[in-house]
Structure formats: C-alpha cells, structure tokens
Amino acid sequence: MCHSHRIKLLCALGKQSMGEHRDASNRLTYDFDAIEADSYREVTEAVVKKFGLTVASGKIAEYDVAFQDFKQGNLVVGLEWDNWSGYIVVAKRTIAEPLVKEIASYISAEFST
C-alpha cells in the first residue's frame, strides 16, 4: 500500500522498484529508487516503529544524502537515502542480513503498488 501523496503518485506511475545488491564492502543492500528525499523521514519512522528499532548513530542529512544506523538487539542496519539510489536499507554486518530482507519486504509491501 502506498502512503504519502508523492509515494502514491510514484506507485501509480509504476516507478517503485526494489533492487538487491552488495556494496563495495560486500554488505547486503536493498534500494528503492523511486522514494524521494522528502519521504525519508516517513519511511524511516514506519520501519523503526514496525521493527522496534533503536538509534545506533547520529543522523547525517545533506542535500543529496541522509543516513542513520539503527539496531534491533545486536543487529545493526542502515536506513539511508541518496540521490542515485533512493531509499536504501543496508546490513552493517552479515548477521543483520535476515532483518534487512524483512525490512525491504515491508517497504516493498507498504510503500509500493
């Protein structure tokens, strides 16, 4: 289900895609290229609430990037946005990969068509 007006518009246009990748550090990442910067907070708050995450690092927000690490027990994930990839979920360590997959599935289900 699509939430915000902007995300609903992108969903209606069929531009909400999820990509699974390994970054240069071989960390599992999922990106959602159609989620715009102004939706970072909305999506992040929904994910934090749904998965009971707590803050693990300070938030960095600039013109073309936003990121913050969160944890669930000893599992640390990055919830990020940049102007190349859109919204990104990153497993900071291998043991967090199952959680990252769950979060990506949730974002896909809740913020996609």
Q: Three-state SS string across the chain, please?
A: CCCCHHHHHHHHCCCCCEEEEECCCCCEEEEECCCCHHHHHHHHHHHHHHHCCEECCCCEECCCEEEEEEEECCEEEEEEEECCCEEEEEECCHHHHHHHHHHHHHHHHHCCC
In this structure, are residues 111 and 3 in contact, taking their beta carbons and an 8 Å threshold?
yes
At 12 the pLDDT is 41
| Alpha-carbon distances, residue 17 vs 25, 30, 33, 77, 108 (angstroms) | 23, 10, 6, 20, 8
| Better-predicted residue by pLDDT, 9 or 53 | 53
At 34 the pLDDT is 85
Going by pLDDT thresholds of 50, 70 and 90, the confidence category of residue 6 is very low
Angle at 26 between CA 46 and CA 78, to 5 degrees: 20
At 16 the pLDDT is 52
Tens digits of residue pLDDT in 14-51: 445 678 989 889 999 999 988 989 899 999 999 999 99
At 56 the pLDDT is 96
Structural domain total, the chain: 1
Tens digits of residue pLDDT in 57-83: 999 988 889 999 999 999 999 999 999
Q: Which domain holds residue 80?
A: 5-110
CATH number of residue 89's parent domain: 3.30.160
At 54 the pLDDT is 98
